[in-house]
C-alpha cells in the first residue's frame, strides 16, 4: 500500500472582493515507502500549495480544501490541529526553498535542532545536544560541535540548507517534502545538496517528494515524476521513460527548452511559448491548449482526463488528446 495517497486534491483561495484562485485543481499521486517522487512544473502551478496542504500548513482563513490526502491509511485533511502538529516533524518533514529565512535568526543552530528532538523524541537537553552534533555531522557539516553555538548568518548558504535537512530528518520522518530545496543555492552547491538528499533518503528509507521547476533536479533523483500544469498532473512516468519519451506536449516543451551538451551544433532551443499569465483554468478544454503546438479542435472543447498511456509500452499516465508521437522524436517506429 502506498505511504501517501493524494486523490483529487483541490485548493481554492477565496478572498472577499476578488476572483477565487484555484491553486490546486484535482491533483492525484501516490508515494510508496522509501520512494522519491518528483512534482515538476513551472512556477505558480500549485506545487507549494500542494505541499503545504499535505503538511497542514495552509493559512487558517482563505483556502478551501477538498479531496483526500491519506498518509499511512490516515486521512490527513480531517486530523485536528493538535494531531497534525504531533505528526509534523515526526512523521512528515519539510525543507523549504530559502535556507536563510527558514532558520530563526536569533537562535543558535544547535537549539533549533534540539528543539525538535526534545519535542518529538522526548530527549533531555543534554542527550539532544549530543544527537544534534551527530546529525550535523551526518549531513556533512564540518566541526559540528562548534557549529551548534553559531547563528544562521554565520553559516554559508549550503551549510544552512544542510542544517535544515538535518533538522527535518532529526526525528526520522517517513516522508520528507523538499520544496525547491536548491533553487536559492549556487549551482555547485546545488549538486552537493541533491547528492546529500539522495544518500540520506536511501540510507534512512525515507520517502521523498521532490518539488522543483527544474527537470535537471528530477533527472538525478526521482524514481517517478509527476508533471503539473495549472494545478493538475498532466503526465506521470518513471524518470527514465519520461526523459526518453516525453508524451505530453508540455513535458516535451520543458525538455526541449533545457540546453543539452550533446545536442548537435546549430540546434536551437525551443522554449514553450507564452507564460503562466496565459494560463486558463481546466473548465472547458485543456488548460495548456492556448500554448500547445499540438492543439486540435477537440482540445479546446473537451477537457482531457488522466488515462493510462496506451501509446507507449510502460505503465504511465497522461492527460492529453494529442500526445507527442514517439516516432516524431527519435525516429523509431510506434509500438
Ligand X SMILES: Nc1ncnc2c1ncn2[C@@H]1O[C@H](COP(=O)(O)OP(=O)(O)O)[C@@H](O)[C@H]1O
Residues near Mg ion (CB under 5 A) are 48
Closest to ligand X by CB, 21 vs 255, is 21
Site string for other proteins, 159-198 (x = CB under 8 A): -----x--xx------------------------------
Cβ(198)–Cβ(221) below 8 Å: yes
# residues contacting other proteins (CB under 8 A): 31
Cβ(120)–Cβ(135) below 8 Å: no
Q: Cell numbers for 267, please give them.
A: 540546434
Give CA–CA dist 286/227, Å, rounded. Answer: 15
Least distance (Å) between residue 209 CB and ligand X: 12
Binds other proteins (CB under 8 A): choice among 116, 132, 175, 178: 116
Give CA–CA dist 29/225, Å, rounded. Answer: 10
Give CA–CA dist 52/301, Å, rounded. Answer: 33
Closest to Mg ion by CB, 48 vs 53, is 48
Q: Cell numbers for 84, please give them.
A: 497534525
- Determine, following the binding rule CB under 8 A, whether residue 105 of this chain makes contact with other proteins: yes
163 binds, among Mg ion, other proteins, ligand X, none (CB under 5 to 8 A by kind): none
- Determine, following the binding rule CB under 8 A, whether residue 282 of this chain makes contact with other proteins: no
Closest to Mg ion by CB, 48 vs 114, is 48
- Determine, following the binding rule CB under 8 A, whether residue 152 of this chain makes contact with other proteins: yes
- Determine, following the binding rule CB under 8 A, whether residue 273 of this chain makes contact with other proteins: no
Sites for ligand X among residues 50-109 (CB under 6 A): 59, 62
Least distance (Å) between residue 161 CB and other proteins: 12
**Angle of helix 109-121 relative to helix 157-169, nearest 10 degrees?**
10
Residue 221: CB atoms within 10 A of its CB come to: 21
Secondary structure (DSSP) of 232-245: EEEEEEEHHHHHH-
**For residue 274, is it left (φ>0), alpha (ψ between -120 and 50) or beta?**
left
- Determine, following the binding rule CB under 8 A, whether residue 39 of this chain makes contact with other proteins: no
Give CA–CA dist 123/112, Å, rounded. Answer: 14
- Determine, following the binding rule CB under 6 A, whether residue 13 of this chain makes contact with ligand X: yes
Least distance (Å) between residue 303 CB and ligand X: 20
- Determine, following the binding rule CB under 8 A, whether residue 70 of this chain makes contact with other proteins: no
Least distance (Å) between residue 246 CB and other proteins: 33
Q: Cell numbers for 160, please give them.
A: 544552512
Secondary structure (DSSP) of 54-112: HHT-S-SSSEEEEEEEEETTEEGGGS-HHHHHHHBTTTEEEE-S-TTTTS-TTS-HHHH
From the list 36-44, 149-157, 158-166, 326-334, the region that binds ligand X by CB under 6 A is 36-44
From the list 40-48, 78-86, 183-191, 246-254, the region that binds ligand X by CB under 6 A is 40-48
**For residue 331, is it left (φ>0), alpha (ψ between -120 and 50) or beta?**
left
Binds other proteins (CB under 8 A): choice among 7, 43, 107, 293: 107
Least distance (Å) between residue 221 CB and Mg ion: 17
Least distance (Å) between residue 153 CB and other proteins: 4
* 176 strand-pairing partners: 93, 208
Enumerate binding residues for other proteins (CB under 8 A). 55, 57, 85-90, 93-94, 96, 98, 100-107, 115-116, 119-120, 151-154, 164, 167-168
Amino acid at each position: 500500500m502506498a505511504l501517501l495517497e493524494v486523490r483529487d486534491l483541490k485548493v481554492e483561495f477565496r478572498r472577499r472582493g476578488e476572483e477565487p484562485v484555484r491553486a490546486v485543481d484535482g491533483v492525484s499521486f501516490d508515494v510508496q515507502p522509501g520512494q522519491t517522487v518528483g512534482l515538476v512544473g513551472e512556477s505558480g502551478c500549485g506545487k507549494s500549495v500542494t505541499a503545504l496542504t499535505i503538511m497542514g500548513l495552509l493559512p487558517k482563513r482563505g483556502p478551501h480544501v477538498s479531496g483526500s490526502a491519506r498518509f499511512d491509511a490516515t486521512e490527513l485533511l480531517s486530523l485536528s490541529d493538535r494531531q497534525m502538529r504531533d505528526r509534523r516533524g515526526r512523521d512528515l518533514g519539510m525543507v523549504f526553498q530559502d535556507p536563510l529565512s527558514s532558520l530563526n535568526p536569533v537562535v543558535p543552530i544547535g537549539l533549533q535542532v534540539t528543539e525538535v528532538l526534545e519535542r518529538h523524541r522526548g530527549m533531555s537537553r543534554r542527550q539532544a545536544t549530543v544527537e544534534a552534533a551527530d546529525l550535523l555531522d551526518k549531513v556533512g557539516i564540518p566541526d559540528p560541535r562548534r557549529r551548534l553555538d553559531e547563528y544562521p548568518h554565520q553559516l554559508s548558504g549550503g551549510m544552512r540548507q544542510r542544517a535544515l535537512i538535518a533538522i527535518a530528518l532529526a526525528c526520522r520522518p517517513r516522508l520528507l517534502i523538499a520544496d525547491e530545496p536548491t533553487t536559492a543555492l549556487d549551482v555547485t552547491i546545488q549538486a552537493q545538496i541533491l547528492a546529500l538528499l539522495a544518500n540520506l533518503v536511501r540510507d534512512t528509507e525515507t520517502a521523498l517528494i521532490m518539488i522543483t521547476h527544474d527537470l535537471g533536479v528530477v533527472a538525478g533523483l526521482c524514481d517517478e515524476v509527476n508533471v503539473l500544469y495549472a494545478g493538475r498532473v498532466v503526465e506521470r512516468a518513471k524518470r527514465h521513460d519520461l526523459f526518453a519519451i516525453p508524451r505530453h506536449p508540455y513535458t516535451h516543451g520543458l525538455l526541449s527548452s533545457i540546453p543539452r551538451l550533446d545536442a548537435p551544433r546549430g540546434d536551437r532551443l525551443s522554449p514553450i511559448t507564452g507564460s503562466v499569465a496565459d494560463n486558463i483554468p481546466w473548465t472547458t478544454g485543456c488548460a495548456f491548449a492556448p500554448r500547445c503546438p499540438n492543439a486540435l479542435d477537440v482540445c479546446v472543447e473537451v477537457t482531457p482526463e488522466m488515462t493510462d498511456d496506451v501509446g507507449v509500452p510502460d505503465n504511465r499516465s497522461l492527460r492529453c488528446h494529442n500526445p507527442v508521437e514517439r516516432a516524431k522524436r527519435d525516429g523509431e517506429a510506434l509500438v
